[in-house]
Amino acid sequence: MNNLRAANLIVKMLEHEGVEYIFGVPGEENIDLMDALLDSKIEFIVTRHETGAAFMAGTYGRLTGKPGVCLATLGPGATNLLTGVANANMDQSPIVALTGQAGLERQHKESHQYYDLIALYRPVTKWNAALKTDKIISEVVRKAFQVAADEKPGATHIDIPEDIAGLEAKDQDPLYQVEHAFTDAEDSVIEKAKDEITKADHPLILAGNGVTREEATPQLRSLIDKYAIPVTHTFMGKGAIPWTSELSLLTTGIGGKDYITCGFEQADLIITIGFDMAEYSPKDWNPTGDKKILHIDTTDPETDSHYPVTLSVVGDIGSNLEKITKALPEKREISPWVPKLRENILNEVKEYEDDQGFPIKPQRIISDIRSVMGEQDIVISDVGAHKMWLARMYHCYEPNTMLISNGLASMGVALPAAIGAKLVKPDRKVVAVCGDGSFQMTGAELETAVRLKLPMVVLLWRDDGYGLIEWHQMKAFDRASHISFDNPDFVKLAESYGAKGYRIEKTEELKPVLQEALDIDGPALIDCPVDYGENLKLTEKLGDIIC
């Protein structure tokens, strides 16, 4: 075999894994790898911060099912990357993180910018390893991609010491990729699942992230078409069935009481499908722990006193749903409580469709967004008060058309995620909805979007403060504490990066401005004042719900 630099060998293995993009920030300790990428078909996308790079990679992984790749140097580069890696891992998005590292000759002592990154990354990854010899490159890269993509997917990490990357190494053959196949549940388990469903008078399906991740949407829709079981979605399960379906009870997941609370109270069997506990604590929807639960997923359930599983159907979600559907009898009558509950949920948006108040109420903003976006277009929510409104009221036709990070739920995710989404789905409209607090955390990535010439929109809900924290403070103490800040001129800021900037000054301007912004050739930012006085009004309204 021929000799080549270890860095070139790493790149060769990444190419074999089908890597299209690496998102990151170069540094001194990864210069060999950066040089090797010049001769590669892999496109390196320079980001303005390492956290943004990991958010982009995580979104790539979520939308493709293939691990996204991000890169940072050692020390502060690696610690900056860590938040985005942890976010992907908790959202169960496949991602491979590459970090530069100090040379082996100085890792045994106190040394400039050196931290033990294997120890640092271990709690937020499924697996990680350091390349302490060039002889294991093919094995480590293959395992990193295999483990990241295996169900349940998440983050892996490879630490690359600078002296190893610059070594002359013997060429290695890439290892074969192994297709992971889930087994189906045994026929006896399917029969028991059928019995649990048919014995229930009021079954309710809770569809989670795994339905989308495992592409089990068609099988879920076939099941409810045959047996008329209503479905509610977690924030990350939105779109598992279209919101227009008479069996859709839209979204659950907001803390405290909501309309869907009545649905959980009515149900005598909760069928969780692809549900991850990080999405929505069972304590919030089964507070007394007395609901029977049929667990359908790729793995056994987590142990939780509020998640008392009667039966667990483990394996390929789509295949097992197909078998259960076949076993069930026909049942097209819909429980009478379902349409009434659905009507109450949908009336919230209808009530504000023509509201002219300014600043604009969240309900009206969401109505305008939904009216300009197609069924396959993608809205991405950052973390903040707007996330709660969007999760509840932006209704989806298809999965992965409203991306919400609800595991780690890190602020700043939306703009970088929109960049990743637009690269993966260039033919779809993409809107990142940010608060003014969350936007400022990764707003420099607007330059990345401009440089890449990506047509996408940042819709910024401006209230000059941390609105979600104020919401919680007011509920708990009836006063706010240290949540206000000043903002720049966001239109001028966008224009300084080379993006198009808009400012909404009347409620009726929002929809036409959104339409115009979505049709331009590059990134646009819309500064939209929001009336978060609606937050506490919603709290009071939900508190008055009587089931």
Say if CB 56 and CB 420 are below 8 A apart: yes
- Cα distances (Å, whole numbers) of residue 506 to 408, 510, 529, 531, 539: 35, 8, 10, 13, 27
d(C-alpha 14, C-alpha 177), whole Å: 12
Q: Residue 271: which pLDDT band, with cuts at 50, 70 and 90?
A: very high
End-to-end CA distance of the chain: 72
Which residue type occupies 347?
N
Averaged pLDDT for residues 273-285 = 91
Which residues, in sequence order, are bridge partners of residue 128? Answer: 157
What's the count of helices (H) and strands (E) in the chain, helices before strands?
23, 20
Q: Which CATH superfamily is domain 3-170 in?
A: Thiamin diphosphate (ThDP)-binding fold, Pyr/PP domains (3.40.50.970)
The model's confidence at residue 333, banded by pLDDT at 50, 70 and 90, is confident
Torsions phi, psi for 247 (to 5 deg): -100, 0
pLDDT tops 70 at residue 454: yes
| Residues whose CB is less than 8 angstroms from the CB of residue 5 and which lie 6 or more positions away in sequence, other chains included | 32, 36, 165, 166, 167, 168, 169
- Residue 184: CB atoms within 10 A of its CB come to 17
Please say whether the beta carbons of 360 and 530 come within 8 A: yes
Phi/psi region, residue 158 (left: phi>0; alpha: psi -120 to 50; beta: rest), is beta
Whole-angstrom CA distances from 138 to 19, 158, 169 are 15, 12, 12
Spatial CA neighbour of 88 closest among 213, 250, 271, 181: 213
Answer with the residue of higher pLDDT: 476 or 181: 476
pLDDT recorded at residue 1? 55
Average of per-residue pLDDT across 477-486:
91
Instruction: Say if CB 526 and CB 512 are below 8 A apart.
Output: no
- Give the residues across from 161 on adjacent strands: 101
DSSP state of 169: E
pLDDT at 110: 76
pLDDT of residue 182: 76
Could you tell me which CATH number the domain at 187-340 has? 3.40.50.1220
- Output the pTM of the full model: 0.94
Q: Give the CA count within 13 Å in the CB-facing half-sphere of 145.
A: 24
pLDDT of 255 over the 80 cut: no
Question: Which band of pLDDT confidence, cut at 50, 70 and 90, is reported for residue 546?
Answer: low
For 240-268, what is the mean pLDDT? 89
Intervals of CATH 3.40.50.970 along the chain: 3-170, 352-543
Strand order in the sheet with 43-46: 43-46, 21-24, 68-72, 95-101, 155-161, 127-130
Tokens found for residue 413:
């995710």
> Mean pLDDT for the chain?
93
> Considering the chain, what percentage of its residues have pLDDT values greater than 90?
76
- Cα separation of 281 and 305, whole Å? 11
User: Does residue 112 register a pLDDT over 80?
Assistant: no
**Which helix or strand (DSSP H or E) is residue 471 part of?**
helix 467-477
Q: Which helix (H) or strand (E) holds 489?
A: none
Say yes or no to pLDDT of 200 above 70. yes
| CA angle centred on 344, ends 343 and 350, rounded to 5° | 80
Lowest-confidence pick of 46-50, 337-341, 506-510: 337-341
The CATH class of 352-543 is alpha beta
Tens digits of residue pLDDT in 338-364: 998 898 888 877 888 899 999 999 999
**Which element (helix H / strand E) includes 504?**
none
The answer on pLDDT for 371 being more than 90 is yes
CB 85 within 8 A of CB 95: yes
